[in-house]
Amino acid sequence: MGTVVYGVHTSVDGFIEGPNGEFDWPEMGEELSAYSIGLAERADAFVYGRRVWELMSSYWPQAESISDHPHDLAFAPIWRRTPKVVVSRTLAEASHGALVVGGGDLAKEFAGIRDRFPGGLLVTGGTGAATALAALGLVDTYEVIVHPVVLGGGRQVLPDLARQQLRLVETRTFDGRSVLLRYARA
């Protein structure tokens, strides 16, 4: 059965977006980019909530025509070739061959996804899918990248989630700016 990793970028004060939905503050330096690319390459599938899916599916298929940032150029082909799963109560289907789950019993549906992708699932982006999966005890590892910015409000990481005990398994600094806090379920 595949492991589930939640990878998220956050501000020092625990927000994944600023008060106006802005996500212009994470800096993908060379070290952080290399780490993120490696994490993505090891995933058997990417998992997104509906909102993040809509952003990802509109950008990554054509990223090379929009951006010349080295991270974007490296990640775009990985995104295109990696299977995708969308957790949504409202979508019936998704483009780019993505599987949609969440219309029924999420725990049961996701067990099937974990069996289908035994090497691992990478949940990235927003908080909806991650919170739903974490509430069911389905997230095995949390990879929190803390960036040196205080946003003062916005969308929280994992809002309204009941207490869960985790154990710190790794810390690492990237580019002298950002810090990885990697936790596993206790």
How does pLDDT run along the chain (186 residues), one tens digit per residue?
A: 689 999 999 999 999 999 999 999 999 999 999 999 999 999 999 999 999 999 999 999 999 999 999 999 999 999 999 999 999 999 989 999 999 998 889 999 999 999 999 889 999 988 899 999 999 999 999 999 999 999 999 999 999 898 999 999 999 999 999 999 999 998
Q: How far is CA 19 from CA 53, 63, 78, 123, 174, in A?
A: 21, 26, 31, 23, 26
CATH number at residue 122: 3.40.430.10
Q: What is the pTM of this model?
A: 0.94
- In eight-state DSSP terms, residue 109 is H
H-helix or E-strand spanning residue 72: helix 70-81
- In eight-state DSSP terms, residue 60 is G
- Residue 103, pLDDT score: 85
Neighbours of 22 (CB within 10 A): 11
- Residue 23, pLDDT score: 92
Q: How far is CA 89 from CA 98, 100, 158, in A?
A: 15, 9, 18
- Residue 160, pLDDT score: 87
**Do you know the residue count of the chain?**
186
- Residue 119, pLDDT score: 87
Q: Given its phi and psi angles, is residue 85 left (phi above 0), alpha (psi -120 to 50 degrees) or beta? A: beta
- Residue 153, pLDDT score: 96
- Residue 43, pLDDT score: 97
- Residue 39, pLDDT score: 96
State whether residue 52 is helix, strand or coil. Answer: helix
- Residue 132, pLDDT score: 94
- Residue 60, pLDDT score: 96
Q: Structural domain tally of the chain?
A: 1
Q: Rounded to whole angstroms, how far apart are CA atoms 72 and 74? A: 5
Q: Given its phi and psi angles, is residue 120 left (phi above 0), alpha (psi -120 to 50 degrees) or beta? A: left
Q: Given its phi and psi angles, is residue 175 left (phi above 0), alpha (psi -120 to 50 degrees) or beta? A: left
Dig out the tokens for 92 from the structure: 């019936």
- Residue 109, pLDDT score: 93
Domain with 111 in it: 4-185
Q: How far is CA 52 from CA 57, 84, 141, in A?
A: 8, 12, 20
